[in-house]
Homo-oligomer: A and B are copies of this chain.
Amino acid sequence: MQIAILLYDNCTVLDAVGPYQTLGPLPDADTVFVAEQAGPVLDDNRSLSLVAAKSLSEVTRPDIVIVPGGPEPDVGNEAVLGWLRAVDATSTWTVSVCTGSLLLAAAGLLNGRRATSHWTTLERLREFGAEPSRQRVVFDGKYVTAAGVSAGIDMGLTLAGKIAGDEHAQAVQLMIEYDPQPPYDAGSPDKAPAALVELISGAPAPGQ
């Protein structure tokens, strides 16, 4: 089983690493990081490069395709969109984290489907014919989308359980000691202080 994780300039590292750490241990899985060109790809904080082992043209039939997000994913990049359409034709699962769903949607893959995204960009899914859902992890057929950044960990464990069973996924959870204890309860726009939500989104907090 091949897992392909897309990298691109200005993507968010944790979006890629959450699924990597949770889906990488699948039995017989081989994970490959892929980008337009093989080599180092700089992240959105501009301090860390992850190395793409392969270029898009070298990865043609992954079983699982994973698309991370970033602050400004280029929804007009035809090299990436074309690759997504091509690999989606034979993938078992097509997956995104955060604003990665905008790339899947821009490629036409989420037309009429329920999907999620980073909370600040959720409504933009409509521009590409997808139906926004505020769930943290959304399954619609073989399409799996996760909410912002850290949601890729919950998505990865959920998908690992579907593919390899609950016991496997629980073992992964135990190995990464994923027993979250955030020091604040501000991880969603429903829970964070309204002033912060407004500051970050430029719009009033939902339901507040």
Contacts and interface: CB of A to CB of B under 8 A. Distances in A.
Interface of A: 12-14, 17-18, 20-21, 24-25, 30-33, 40, 45, 47-51, 53, 98, 118-119, 136-137, 147-151, 153-154, 157-158, 161, 166-167, 169-171, 173-184, 186-189, 191-193, 196-197, 199-200
A118 B189 CA distance: 32
A192 B24 CA distance: 20
B47 A49 contact: no
Contact of A199 (B14, B21, B136, B171): B171
A193 to B, nearest CB: 7
Given A14-B21, A17-B13, A49-B51, A177 B149 contact: yes
Given A48-B51, A166-B184, A169-B184, A150 B153 contact: yes
Contacts of A119: 177
Contacts of A148: 175-177
B149 A175 contact: yes
Contact of A53 (B12, B47, B136, B179): B47
**Which 4 residue pairs are nearest across A and B when measured between Cβ atoms?**
A148-B177, A179-B187, A180-B180, A170-B186
A157 to B, nearest CB: 5
A94 B15 CA distance: 26
The quantity of this chain's copies bound in the complex is: 2
Contact of A20 (B13, B21, B31, B191): B13
A20 B187 CA distance: 17
Given A40-B51, A171-B200, A173-B187, 7 more contacts: A14-B18, A21-B149, A32-B47, A137-B181, A149-B177, A149-B178, A153-B180
